[in-house]
Structure 1
C-alpha cells in the first residue's frame, strides 16, 4: 500500500512539474527588438579581442547584393553582468561565455517569446571561436527565420484587400495594406509602397516552364529575362531623346542560390538594378519558382529605390512578403 502511495505521489509530482513547465512557457513575456537586431552577451575583454572579431566576422558580415556594405545584423553588445530584466527579452540573442565545457547550441523561447538564443561555451578563446564557427550558419538561419515569421505575423494586422494575384496567378501573399497595385498587365503585376526618399517594389510575372533549361547559360538567361521585363514594363524617368528603363547592373554578375519558396524548388537571385541612360540604381532579389503543377516558372521579385538610405530592412520586408506565398487551387 505504501509503495502504491509513493508511486502515485511521484506521478502527481511529474504531472505538476509538466504543468508548471507549460505554464512557464505560456507566460513568457513578448520578445522585443528592431528587425534584424542582435544582442550579443559577452565579456568586454572577449568582445574587444579575437572572440569579438569572430562574432563580427559572422554576424555583422556584409549582405550579398547591396549597393554598399550593410551588416546582416545590427549588433548591441552587453557584458553578462547587465544581462537581466528586459535585456533578456531580445528576439535574437547570442550568449558567448568561458565555461568548464565546450559546447554550442540554439534554444528557442528561453527568456521571451518568440525568441532564438544561440549559446557558445568554451574553456579557452580558441574553443569559443571554434564554437562560433560551428554554429554561425545555423544560428543566422534561425535568427532570420524567426524574424521573418514575426514580420509576417505583423503584416496580418492590416492586410491588402487586392485580389489581383489570386485572379491572375492563383496565389496569395501576406501583403500589408500599405502596398498598392501600380501596374497590371497580362501575366504581370507591379505592386509598390512609398518609403522615405523612394519606393519598395514587388513584381510578379510568369515565364514558360522550359525557361532556364541550360545550366551553362543560367545566369545570362536570368539577366536577359530581367532586362526584357524591365524594358517592357518598368520605365525610368523621362529624358528627352533617351529611352530609360530598369535593367540588371552590368559590372557585377548576380549571386544565385538554390532555395525553396512556398513548398516549391526555386532559385534565389541577388544583385543590383540600374536605369538604362540614367544614374539610378538599387538592390533586387528575384525568386524563380518551379511551378510544375501549372506548367510555368513563377517569378517573384522585390527591389528598392531609396537613394542615400539603408536598404537592408526594406529588402528583408520584401523577402518576407514573397516567402509568405500560398497556392490556391491549380489553374
Structure 2
C-alpha cells in the first residue's frame, strides 16, 4: 500500500502566535453553554464597530451541513471593565486589545488559564488595520483551538458514564476505541459494520462504523465516500416504512468535504444531510474517513442526528466529540 504522508498541523497560526501557557491542575471546572464564547473588547463601541462585526461574521457564520441556520458559536460581549472574576471561568474566551501603546500585533494562546478545560485567546494590536490582518491570517487556527476545548469538555463528561460494553465490542471487532456514554446501545452489527445509537422521546443520535480494504487513494474522493455510505445505509439502516432506508440527501445540499487533522491522522471530514427513501425522516450527518495503514483498511466513523423541529448543532457537536475520542490500539496487526 502506498504510504500516506501527513504532516501534523494542529494550527495554521502565523509567527505572531505566542507559545501557549497552561496552569497546573486544581483549577475550577469551566462554565458556559455549549459553543458559547465570551468576547472581551476595549469598550462597547469597539464591539459595534467593524472590529466587532469582523469577529461576529466569522465565529457567527452558519454551521455547514445543518438543515436550518445555526451559528458556529454564540457570542456574549463584555467590555474589559466588566470582565470580572465571575466570567473568567467561561470555557471559550476571546480578548481583543487594540491600543497605540502596543508596539506590534500578536496573539496569546492560553490553555486552562482560569479554569479547566478552557481556551483563552488574546489578540493585541496597535491599530485596527493590524488587527484585521492578524485576525484574518489566524482565524481558522483560533476556531480550531476553541473547537478542541469544546470536544475536550464533552469527552471528559462522557468518560464519567462510559459504556464499557460498547468499548469492548469496538476493540474486539475493529481494534480501536471510542468513548460513548452509557445511554448508547448497539443496534446492529456485522463483520465490518456496527450501528450504535441513543434514542429519546425528542431525538435520536446514531453512529455508524464500517471498514473495508484499502485499494486506492480514491477512497478519499467525495463521490466514493458518499457511494459507500449509501451502500451501507441501504443495507443496514431501515426507515419506519417497509422498504424505506437512509440515504444521503444530495439533491438538497451536496455534502462538503475537507481534509482535517483527526487526532494526528489524515482524514476526510464530510458534512451533509441525510433523508429516508420511502419516508420523511432526515437530518444532518458528519463523518471522518481515514486509513489504517497497518491493516490496510479504510475506516469510516459516521454519525447522524434526527431531531425534528429542534436545533441540531449541539447534538451534532456531541457526536463529533465522540468520534474524536477515536484511538487505535497500540498493536494493530494480529491483535
TM-score (norm 2): 0.85
Q: Which residue is 1:166 aligned to?
A: 171
Q: Quick check: 115-124 or 164-173, which moved more? A: 115-124
Q: What is the 5 A alignment of 1:1-331?
A: 25-42=24-41, 43-99=43-99, 100-101=101-102, 102-105=104-107, 106-162=109-165, 163-195=168-200, 197-210=202-215, 213=218, 218-238=221-241, 243-251=243-251, 252-328=253-329, 329-330=331-332, 331=334
**SS of match in other structure, 1:250:** coil
TM-score norm. by structure 1 comes to: 0.86
Instruction: State the Cα deviation string for residues 131-154 of structure 1 (Å, max 9, x = none).
Output: 322331121111111121221111
What's the secondary structure of 1:52's corresponding residue? helix
For residues 127 and 262 of structure 1, do their structure 2 counterparts lie closer, same or farther at Cα, with a shift above 3 Å needed?
A: closer
Give runs of ≥4 in structure 1 deviating > 6 Å. none
Unaligned runs of 5+ in 2: 1-20
Contact 1:201–1:304 (8 Å) recurs in 2: yes
CA contact (8 A) 1:104 1:118 kept: no
CA distance in 2, matches of 1:195, 1:78: 37
C-alpha root-mean-square deviation of aligned residues, in Å?
2.1
Question: Per residue, is there more helix in 1 or in 2?
Answer: 1
Q: Structure 2: how far apart are the matches of 1:176 and 1:214?
A: 30
The question of whether the paired residues in 1 share the 8 Å contact of 2:105 and 2:126 is answered with no
Q: Please list every run of 5 or more consecutive structure 1 residues that lacks an aligned counterpart in the other structure.
A: 1-20
Give 1:130 deviation, angstroms: 2.7
CA pair 198-214 structure 1, distance change in 2 beyond 3 A: closer
Partner of 2:3: none
Contact 1:195 1:306 in 2 (8 A): no
Q: Any conservation in 2 of the 1:266–1:289 contact (CA below 8 Å)?
A: yes
Distance 1:257 1:297 in 2: 17
Q: Does structure 2 conserve the Cα–Cα contact (< 8 Å) formed by 1:227 and 1:248?
A: yes
1:268 Cα shift? 1.2
Q: Distance in 2 between matches of 1:283 and 1:94?
A: 29
**Aligned 8 A contact 1:98 1:123 in 2:** yes
Would you say how many aligned residue pairs link Structure 1 and Structure 2?
A: 305
| Deviates further, 224-233 or 192-201 | 192-201
Give the whole-Å Cα distance in 2 for the aligned partners of 1:161 and 1:26.
27
**Greater Rg by CA:** 1
Residue 15 of structure 1: aligned partner: none
Distance 2:270 2:94 in 1: 29
Looking at structure 2, the residues matched to 123 and 208 of structure 1 have their Cα atoms a distance apart, in angstroms, of: 55
User: Larger RCO: Structure 1 or Structure 2 (Cα < 8 Å, ≥ 6 residues apart)?
Assistant: 2
Q: Is the 8 A contact 2:289 2:299 kept in 1?
A: yes
Residue 238 to residue 146, structure 1, CA distance change in 2 (3 Å): same
Alignment deviations for residues 227-282 of structure 1 (CA, whole Å, 9 cap, x no partner): 1111111111215xxx3111111223211111243543221111111111222221
User: Which SS does the other structure have where 1:72 is aligned?
Assistant: coil
Q: Aligned equivalents of 1:127 and 1:144: distance in 2?
A: 25
